[in-house]
Amino acid sequence: MRIAFYAPLKPPSHPVASGDRAVARLLIEALRRSGHEVEIASTFRSREGAGDLLRQERLSRLGTRLAERFLRRKTARGKRPDLWFTYHLYYKAPDWLGPAVAAALDIPYVVAEASIAEKRRVGPWALGHAAALAAVRRADAVIGLNSADRAGLVAHLASSDRWHALKPPVEVARFAAAARRRDTTRAQLARRHSLDPAAVWIAAVAMMRPGDKLASYRLLAAALARLACLPWRLLVIGDGPARPEVEAAFAPGAERVAWLGALAADEVAACVAACDLCAWPAVNEAYGIALLEAQAAGVPVVAGASGGVPDIVADGITGRLVPPGDCAAFARALGQLIAAPQQERRRLGERAALAAADHDVGCAATRLDAILRRVVSERSRR
């Protein structure tokens, strides 16, 4: 099947590393593993984050022109897609291309990772909300990577059976390989960053940007400040425009923090696998791909139970979950695992790796193929 793939929030080729881009690339890999031919339909970013109506209108017009250009190109070459697949749309990043192209070519329109915020029906993002809602209503299938979004979406679908759950994918082999090199990597990191190898190493993996990410970093810093009597070291993997604010949050315990910066995918896997725990408050997190990656590396997680995070982290089995935004509860859960015997953390890590295996990109390939073939079959019968 020829599939036109589009990510309105951030194209898979975007140079800034992010969980969103990683998931988009994994979905493409899963589709290709199933034998589908995937083409990036456009790299157009529709995101408008300031609530500027005039800019949203300009983006809408540009999206319409790009859809028309795509149709002209496919008509001229005679190689049209069999299905349009849009990844991650919401009121700030609606899909201005896919619905129009799918309607013009009379092909299925499929959306993965969508959300509808009813409070945006009026206000500065009303145009984006309306477009996202129209796309969801038009969709032949909505693939949900986050169970927390289901209730808000199913009410707008033509029928509830157009909702299909998919476990967020992860490249298990990459993280399993990193776990096998754990001791070597840990020794290298200890030398490079003057880290005490006998301490409990905690990984925090996230971009540094204003908003929810910065709020999570600040909550993590506040929680760790309560645990000064325990033997921990924090390895921060990530960078971004809010780095000065992040560094300021950790300033009271700066001697315990190693700033690793933005790393390539293999380096992230290696550094996370070398740690004993992964900690992330997950303020307003959709599901947290970094938490899934840590578990794939056999590292237990302490996280805030936001959004779809409970879909990934099993409290008491693969890590610990606490109420979102609760600094005291986060500090208690993290402190208990820091103080626990190493064997307990390793047991959690082993169970985490087993749970992550169900999210492997190969499993996602099988599931996605079944969904898309069902969509095509059902559409042919209408």
d(CA 313, CA 302): 8
* Tokens linked to 16: 């800034």
How is domain 2-169+360-380 classified at the CATH fold level? Rossmann fold (3.40.50)
The CATH number of 172-357, from 1.10.3660.10, 3.40.1620.10, 2.60.40.1180, 3.40.50.2000, is 3.40.50.2000
Residue 129 has pLDDT above 80, yes or no: yes
pLDDT digits (tens, 9 = 90+) for 146-174: 988 898 999 999 899 999 999 999 999 99
How much is the pTM? Answer: 0.93
Helix axes 172-180, 289-296, angle to 10 degrees: 50
What confidence tens digit (pLDDT) does each residue in 201-255 have?
999 999 999 999 999 999 999 999 999 999 999 999 999 999 999 999 999 999 9
Spatial CA neighbour of 20 closest among 305, 287, 294: 287
What pLDDT does residue 20 have? 87
- Using the predicted structure, report yes or no on whether residue 318 has a pLDDT greater than 90: yes
Domain ranges of the chain: 2-169+360-380, 172-357
Domains 2-169+360-380 and 172-357 share a fold: yes
**Whether the predicted pLDDT of 287 surpasses 90:** no
Q: Which residue has the tokens 């015997």?
A: 341
**Span 71-121, pLDDT tens digits:** 999 887 778 999 999 999 999 999 999 999 999 999 999 999 999 999 999
The predicted pLDDT at position 177 comes to 97
Rounded to an integer, the average pLDDT of 296-311 is 96
What is the biggest distance separating any 2 CA atoms in the chain, rounded to whole angstroms? 69
